[in-house]
Each structure stands twice: as structure tokens, then as C-alpha cells.
Amino acid sequence: MLEIFYKNKGQVITTDEIGALDNLGYDDVLWIDLFSPTGEEKRAIEEFLNTNLQSRAQAEEIESSSRYSETENTIFANTNFLIPGPENYSMEAVSFILCEGIIVTIRHVPLRSFTDIQRRIMANYRLLPTGYHILVGILENRIDLDADMIELMSKEIAQYSKKVSLGGTMGEDLLLDITQLQENTMLVRENIVDKQRMISGILKSDKFPRDLFAKLDVLIKDINSLINHTNFSFERLEYLQNTVLGLINLEQNRIMKIFTFVSLLFLPPTLIASVFGMNVKLPGFGNLDFLFIMLIMVVAVLIVTFIFFRKKMLN
């Protein structure tokens, strides 16, 4: 599936017909958005721009040369877009190809950043007159969304921190939730660093318009700020995880202390009963031996209890 945005009489018109490219020139086309493209669609775009499009495997490679590269007349840039899910996040590779002022995007999932920029183009394309401006607009929008995502994660971390400080239930579920938040935080940081690498490559380019460098410098500063924020969030989660583990260990120690106390509590009576048990007549047969032994056992229990409380071993 593809969507072509092209200029016509001061307006931007869209079409999903590949054949429309036969009647359009480089100055007419602004953006070609490929969504899970077929082989026929990719070949048509390659023929129109006289360049090769990257495959999905190439877009997912992590080498710096794969994230940003240039040829004589084409810029290739790849980055990951974070897709939030109900519990965890996933990364989706997106390719940007800039050739003759036209931007070609290749993606395989719906992305809000693309939808927002497409609306802006349809409303007033003069704000985004070239493919270079469209690329910067997508990156600005996406970084804003990433910042919102980090803010939501920070609020979630604060809720867990409050729950721990108020003495909420500590258990496996809480630890698993904190671990999942750590994983999401690492994915967010990785996603932001990936964009930093891409923009750094653009800033070194001689082909990119200089008038956009000011916006790119602002984006780099925003990204650095977000990286610092994710680092702080991750450190906070580690501290929270250690706190929960410490509280769980304290609770387990308290339980073990009670078991130990109960075991020691009945140890003296057990010893006394073992010593006197074989030579004592049963109660009701005219002797007080049994009552005497029971009294000794109770006294032994009281003595052990007194020692435990005196030594503060049950606190």
C-alpha cells in the first residue's frame, strides 16, 4: 500500500495509484509513504527516483552506517519507533529515503507521527515544503510523543514508590511489575539514542538544508534531556527494586524468627517429657507426678519466653 502526496495548483493531493507517477515530476511530489509495500510498488518508486530502496532487514541493522548513509544524490536514514502495548513496548524499524527533495518512508505499522504530519501537509503544505522539512517534522512529533511516554512512565514509577513507602503488599507481582517497567525504560532509552545517532548523522551531512540545522540542534538538546530523564528513571527503579527485595527479606526473616522461637519454646518441655516420661504414672491413679512435670514444663516455657523478650530477639 502506498500514498503519494503531490502538489497541484497550490494544494496537496493524495493518491494511491502507482500510475500517477508517470505524469508527475520531482518538483510535484512531496512525499511517498509506503505502508507494508509490495514488490511492484517498491520497484515503481525505485524506477521513478532512479535509486534503490532499503529492505526491512537493512532498516533493522544497528551499525552506524546502516542508521545513516548517503550516495551521490540520495540520503538513507533508519530509526526505530516505539510502539506502546498494554504491558510492554515493541520497536518498529522505519526507513527514510530522501532524493531530489522527495521523501520516501517505508513502514509496516500505523504510526501516529505520520498521521499528524499528513494532516499538517493537507492543511498547509507550505509549512513543510520539501521532504527534508517533512522528515524533521516527523522527528519533532515523534520526540514529543516519546517525551509524553517517559512522563507517563515516571508517574507510574511514582505510584509504585508511594505504594512501597506506604507499606503495601510486597510480593512476586510487585517485583514483576517493576522488572517490566525497567525493561520498558531500557527500550525507551534505546529508542531515543537511536534517533540521536540518526540526527547526528544528518548534522554532518552537506546535502541537508542548512536552514533546518537550528531545529535539529534543538532536537538533539531535547533528546539529551530525555536520555538523562530515562537514566534517572532507571536508577529510581533499581532503588525501588532493591527496597522491595529488602522488605521481602525482612518479612521472611521475621517469619523464620517466629518459627525458630516456637521450636525453641517447646524444646525444654520436650526434653523434660522425654526424661520423666517412662517412669511416671498416668494422672487419675492417686499421684501428683504428672502435674508436677507439667508445672516444670510451663515454667521452662516461661523462662525461654522471658529470655527471648529480654534479648529483644522477637523485634
Per-residue pLDDT reduced to its tens digit, 11-43: 888 887 888 777 877 788 888 888 888 888 888
Question: Confidence class of residue 162 from pLDDT cuts 50, 70 and 90?
Answer: confident
Cell 544524490 -> residue? 73
Around 9, how many Cα atoms within 13 Å sit in the side-chain half-sphere?
Answer: 0
Of 119-133, 214-228, 260-274, 294-308, least confident by mean pLDDT is: 260-274
Q: In sequence order, which ranges of the chain are alpha helices (DSSP H)?
A: 39-49, 56-60, 64-67, 112-123, 131-165, 172-203, 213-265, 267-276, 289-310
Give the Cα separation of 202 and 280 in Å (integer).
96
- Residue 14's DSSP bridge partners are 5
Q: How far is CA 197 from the centre of its chain?
A: 19
Q: What is the pLDDT of residue 286?
A: 55
Which residue(s) pair with 92 in the sheet? Answer: 81
Burial of 213 (0-12, 13-18, 19+ CB in 10 A): middle
Determine contact, residues 293/282, Cβ cutoff 8 Å: no
Distance CA 109, CA 141 (A): 17
To which residue does cell 527500550 refer? Answer: 187
Closest to 119 (Cα-Cα) out of 235, 31, 249? 31
- What pLDDT, on the 0 to 100 scale, is given for residue 21? 76
More confident: 50 or 85: 50
Long-range contacts of 145-154 (CB under 8 A, 24+ apart): 145/112, 145/113, 146/82, 146/188, 146/191, 146/192, 146/226, 147/222, 147/226, 149/82, 149/84, 149/188, 150/188, 150/226, 150/229, 150/230, 150/233, 153/181, 153/184, 153/185, 153/188, 153/233, 154/229, 154/233
Summary mean pLDDT of the chain: 79
Whether 309 has a pLDDT exceeding 80, the answer reads no
Q: What 8-state DSSP symbol labels residue 127? A: G
Angle (CA) 77-81-83 rounded to 5° is 165
All residues at 6 or more sequence positions from 123 whose CB lies less than 8 Å from its CB, including other chains:
none
- Comparing 277 with 54, the larger pLDDT belongs to 54
For residue 151, the model assigns a pLDDT of 86
pLDDT at 59: 63
CA-CA-CA-CA dihedral for 174, 180, 182, 184, to nearest 10: -150
Domains assigned to the chain: 2-248 (3.30.460.20), 266-310 (no CATH)
User: pTM for this one?
Assistant: 0.72
Strand ranges of the sheet holding 89-99, from the earlier edge strand across to the other edge: 11-15, 2-8, 29-35, 102-107, 89-99, 74-84, 68-70
Q: Which has more pLDDT, 50 or 66? A: 50
Tally of CB atoms within 10 A around 5 = 24
